[in-house]
Amino acid sequence: MAGGRDEGCGGKRVISVTALICVLAVAGVVVTMPGTASAAPKPPRTLEDVHKEVEGLYRQAEAATDAYNAADEAQRRQEKSITEIAKSAAEAQERMNRLKNQAGSLARAQYRDGTLPPQARLLLSGSPESFFDGVALTHKGQAATRGLITEVAAVQRTLDGYAKAAGERWKTLDGERRKKEGAKKQVEAKLAAAKELESKLEEKEKERLRQLEEERARQSQQKWLASDAVKGAALKGSGAATAEGRRAVDFAAAQIGKNYVWGAEGPDTYDCSGLTLKAWAAAGRVIPRTSQDQWRQLPKIGLKDMRPGDLIIYFADASHVGVYVGDGAIVHAPRPGRQVTMAGAGSMPVLGVVRPG
């Protein structure tokens, strides 16, 4: 075997790379040659994997919906502010026009009365008293003129302020519109991805996926009811509600069966915070538009103290909300493809409880 020739896997002397591979193969060792791939086949995706991915996409879409709703509300405020500024500016402009007319009248009067020097007017006047009365009136006219000029200057400053404020509001409005459009694209992208993933499932898999969701919700509810945060609490029924809370619950319950549509505030479709917004509007209370602002701005209540009408906020980013109806249940608008429904209050990760009134 001179010159380093191979004699195959059964040869006496094996000194080449090829022969070495043969030996390792016989020993059951997997060898990967440089530049070749040996990745194990990817395991098939289970329904559990699909469930996690779909739910994750819907959660991301709901968070983006909250951002959209916040930008939409901010846009409305800016538009209202610009309208109010325009109205105030128009009123100030009318006042300026009146002042300019007054200034013109005064100027014309002074021009007419100032053609003769004081000595001549004294000689021509019927009496010294009437002359001095005229002088006094002239001084009053001059004072009025000075006052008019000061007022004109003040109104002009006001108009300039309105113009500046309007310019700033327009910039802010443009920014909110951009945020809203960006959030809209993100919502639509996440929903499209979730729908595409679901569309690849067979009907029996879709039904199994729904059952899996329901089973997860039941397990979460049972775990929540047994938790220290809730255990021992009197999960109050409808009798514990205030009059306002009862109206909010009644409104929410009356919407059961209506479709979830992101960004919707009724009357035919709702997203989660659109439902809570309108429920408390029916109770006579104005609350923030988004679930995140509802969490930030409304008074927080302990789980053991909650009563019907309170709002339960879900997930760490406060991206979902439902109306507590008593007996451990909520009414909420779950997500696209679902309808407003009643569910266990602990069927999702609870962040906390807030009380609109």
Please give the full DSSP string across 286-344, using - where no structure is assigned.
Answer: ---SSHHHHHHHSPEE-GGG--TT-EEEETTTT-EEEEEEETTEEEE---TT-B-EEEE
Q: Are residues 62 and 9 in the same domain?
A: no
Q: Does 332 participate in catalysis according to the annotation?
A: yes
Q: Are residues 80 and 186 in the same domain?
A: yes
Q: Is residue 42 part of a domain?
A: no
Which of 191, 223, 241 is the last residue in one of the domains? 191
Q: Does 139 participate in catalysis according to the annotation?
A: no
pLDDT for res 93:
84
Q: Find out whether 324 and 252 touch, Cβ atoms under 8 Å.
A: no
Q: Find out whether 253 and 263 touch, Cβ atoms under 8 Å.
A: no
Nearest to 313 by CA among 284, 287, 339, 337: 287
Ordered mean pLDDT values, 10 residues apiece, the chain (357 residues): 46 44 43 50 71 85 89 85 84 80 67 52 50 51 66 81 81 84 89 86 84 89 87 65 94 97 95 97 96 96 91 95 94 94 94 94
Give the three-class secondary structure for 283.
Answer: coil
Q: Which residue has the tokens 């200057």?
A: 153
Q: Are residues 110 and 156 in the same domain?
A: yes
Catalytic residue among 9, 22, 51, 320: 320
Look up the domain containing 178 and give its range.
47-191
Q: Are residues 206 and 185 in the same domain?
A: no
pLDDT for res 145:
63
pTM higher than 0.75, yes or no?
A: no
Give CA–CA dist 138/116, Å, rounded.
13
Which of 170, 191, 212 is the last residue in one of the domains? 191
Q: Are residues 245 and 349 in the same domain?
A: yes
Q: Are residues 290 and 216 in the same domain?
A: yes
